[in-house]
Amino acid sequence: WKLVDLYPSSFGRLRVEKQTKDSVTFSWSFGRYQLRVWHSPFRLEILCEQEVMLNNQGTECTLNFILRATCCAPSGPSSIGADLCLHGFRHVYGLPQHADNLQLRDTRDGEPYRLYNLDVFAYPLYSRLGLYGSVPLMVAHKPDRTLGVFWLNASETFINIQYSDHQVTFVSVLRADPQTDVHWLSESGMIDCMVLLGPSPQQLFAQYAQLTGYQALPPLFALGYHQCRWNYIDEADVKSVDAGFDRHSIPYDVIWLDIEHTDGKRYFTWDPVHFPEPAKLQQHLEKKNRKLVIISDPHIKVDPSWSLYCEARDRGHFVKDREGQIFKGSCWPGESSYLDFSSSATRAWYSRCFGLDKYKGSTPSLFVWNDMNEPSVFSGPELTMPKDAVHCGDWEHRDLHNLYGFYQHMATVEGLITRSGGLERPFVLSRSFFAGSQRLGAVWTGDNVANWEYLKISVPMVLSLSLAGIAFCGADVGGFIQDPEPELLVRWYQAAALQPFFRGHSANVTNRREPWLFGDEVTAAIRTVIQQRYSLLPYWYTLFHQAHTSALPPLRLVLLNFPSFYVGGALLACPVTEPGIQEIKVLLPGSDEIWYDIHSALVYKGGRTLSLPVTLDTVSLDDNFTIPARWLGSLQISRKFPNCNLLSPQGTADGELYLDDGHSFRYRDRKAFCLRRFSMLSGRLLCRPASEEGTFDCNTVIQSVTILGVKSKPSAVIVHASGKEIWH
């Protein structure tokens, strides 16, 4: 972590505005912003144009944590906390991960929001309990300002929220402006709180990214469809599923293997009976430009006859208990020890384990899934590691619990990058995460259930992650646990195709769930939605370029219009999340905007609620963007883009297309990319470079151009290239 200047130099330097014996006032941005600090008792407030935006109600260091009997803090129980008041705000969001509403609820009627990474199987819905990951970022929003509070602490944390208008009282009626009171409480550490002033959502996202990192640009295949199951039985099973997608003309790019692919749950090994030739399996997939992902968890089977375990033990790479002995817990292999990823030496050693010379049977087309890395300890308190376990540097586990999975994710990513000599982009999915995980790869919402309520809750869960900077996220299609009915499965595919990470996954106790096993009608519906996803891959890839460079998330909120959300700036999505629905109502934003149905090209005026019959096509398009799309097919098909221009009432349209080789770091190291801007104005469609940087030669062609919203038939169409007329 590092401190950075979040404001451009044009805002002016921080200067002392006023000083007394009890306080000091700082100002910046030419006096627009002020910070007032009182030292006894300590108090601060932040103002914009003389109006208080945020102040604290007193900062405390209390002794009010109740420790479980299994833990013993050497310095005694302790905690840190702070009360903050957000003036003028009545809506706050963020604090993933919880299976709860998009807007955070007032906690006076129940438990506070908890940030404590845990393995929660079939997690309860509309709960404030902690799940697999934690991002201590809260975002407050009102029409003229977006404000963020980032509480940098990796220990167990509780957040209480009180809205001033939660209950109408005489005092609240007298109070003209709303306010939201927030109480932060962490078990250990120090107060390290950053306030992000925005004022726009885009500026806040950029400020947060400067602190914690920008979203990694994934390899293009990672934005396609992924097929996973716990577990595909053997190599023949994998090849059969792979052939099934071809036979049913359903595009996909990645097939996954869970823990049963290993030799006795020993990671970095292969079952010698069921996966005797893993390299040949990967080569079979790679001939079709498809990839294989395998699971790699943080627990290591205690086995003195296994060289990897002995190497980790002898080099001191395991977490220790409070007595100084190697900590042992139980997980999938049985008795296990846990790698201490807080140690840079351990991370470097683990990274080297992914080398092609060490990981026998691996090839460059093998990628990785980090699971159970909260960490999950079946024999531990709340199925996790005891808080008094000891890490490198004598840090107790309580101090860095929420960082454990983040550090494994980091080491795995570095391992794949090193494997390629620093040339190729990695793909690593992690179940556990923390602030900054976006710069490493993808996450998902964990062990969900095959019912309609879990489909519905997946939308706010993914949007909350996007709001907190983790753009590459999604929920398992169909639910990990139990068996979905056909209608639920189709609706889930429709919703998940509009989320960044798109994976079908199911547990070993469920029925097989490949898309063609539910009859011709369901197969056709799933085929259509996956093909639609592939047709929009150039658009998705461009959105991830924006996230990577400017921190704009691909999924964007339509506040006061939930469950609708934007995919980028051009697609309005409203997924169907209830059974038997024959019609949905969608509020089209913007009374001065025009909307087009993505399939029928029917035009609708914004600023009204539209009733639409429910079909497989439930996405509308914004009015003033250019959408790059690709004809249906898998990634091995050459790029041929139809270009769709959607005219605004003023007859204009605008959009971008980003291209690179889709897999390497050449876009970064050698500026090997192409960023083109498409603009429609006064009857002319222009395609020009959108950046002075970037040179990229490719076989991409624009195959056709569709312009919607033309009020009269053109008398002629003329095409110019390099200043010369080439078609009339």
Domain CATH number, residue 64:
2.60.40.1760
Residue 609, both tokens:
């609620």
Out of 156, 297, 374, 388, which one is annotated catalytic? Answer: 374
Instruction: Indicate if 308 and 424 belong to the same structural domain.
Output: yes
Cβ–Cβ under 8 Å, residues 195 and 638: no
Residue 441 belongs to a domain: no
Amino acid 684: pLDDT: 87
Distance separating alpha carbons of residues 442 and 428, to the nearest angstrom: 6
Instruction: Indicate if 304 and 195 belong to the same structural domain.
Output: no
Residue 508 belongs to a domain: no
Residue 357 belongs to a domain: yes
Residue 138 belongs to a domain: yes
Q: Structural domain tally of the chain?
A: 2
Instruction: Indicate if 302 and 420 belong to the same structural domain.
Output: yes
Amino acid 642: pLDDT: 60
Phi, psi angle pair for 220, to nearest 5°: -60, -35
Residue 333 belongs to a domain: yes
Amino acid 262: pLDDT: 98
Out of 371, 388, 399, 476, which one is annotated catalytic? Answer: 371
Instruction: Indicate if 196 and 48 belong to the same structural domain.
Output: yes
Out of 447, 514, 623, 656, which one is annotated catalytic? Answer: 447
- The answer to whether the bond into 499 is cis (omega within 30° of 0) is no
Helix (H) or strand (E) holding 255: strand 254-257
Instruction: Indicate if 207 and 314 belong to the same structural domain.
Output: no
Sort 394 into a burial class: Cβ within 10 Å, 0-12 / 13-18 / 19+.
exposed
Is 692 part of the annotated catalytic residue set? Answer: no
Is 237 part of the annotated catalytic residue set? Answer: no
The domain containing residue 135 runs over which residues?
A: 41-167+174-212
Distance separating alpha carbons of residues 149 and 85, to the nearest angstrom: 11
Q: Which residues of the chain have pLDDT under 70?
A: 1-12, 58-77, 167-176, 559-562, 615-643, 645-646
Instruction: Indicate if 342 and 208 belong to the same structural domain.
Output: no
Amino acid 64: pLDDT: 37
Residue 317 belongs to a domain: yes
Instruction: Single out the residue in 391, 413, 430 at which a domain terminates.
Output: 430
Instruction: Indicate if 331 and 198 belong to the same structural domain.
Output: no
**Which contacts (CB < 8 Å, 24+ apart) does range 547-550 have?**
547/214, 547/215, 547/471, 548/214, 548/215, 548/216, 548/217, 549/214, 550/202, 550/205, 550/206
The rounded Cα 116 to chain-centroid distance in angstroms is 18
CATH code of residue 426: 3.20.20.80
Residue 107 belongs to a domain: yes
Neighbouring C-beta atoms of residue 40, cutoff 10 Å: 8
Residue 580 belongs to a domain: no
Distance separating alpha carbons of residues 505 and 230, to the nearest angstrom: 8
Instruction: Indicate if 196 and 317 belong to the same structural domain.
Output: no
Instruction: Single out the residue in 430, 445, 463 at which a domain terminates.
Output: 430
Helix (H) or strand (E) holding 308: helix 307-314
Instruction: Indicate if 306 and 424 belong to the same structural domain.
Output: yes
**Cα distances (Å, whole numbers) of residue 453 to 17, 100, 443, 491:** 54, 11, 21, 12
Sign of torsion over alpha carbons 86, 90, 93, 95: positive
- The answer to whether the bond into 579 is cis (omega within 30° of 0) is no
Is 447 part of the annotated catalytic residue set? Answer: yes
Instruction: Single out the residue in 430, 454, 479 at which a domain terminates.
Output: 430
Helices (H), 401-557: 404-419, 452-467, 486-496, 520-535, 537-550
Amino acid 645: pLDDT: 66
Distance between the two ends of the chain, CA-based, in angstroms?
A: 58
Cβ–Cβ under 8 Å, residues 394 and 75: no
Whole-prediction pTM value? 0.93
Cβ–Cβ under 8 Å, residues 429 and 293: yes
Sign of torsion over alpha carbons 343, 345, 348, 349: negative
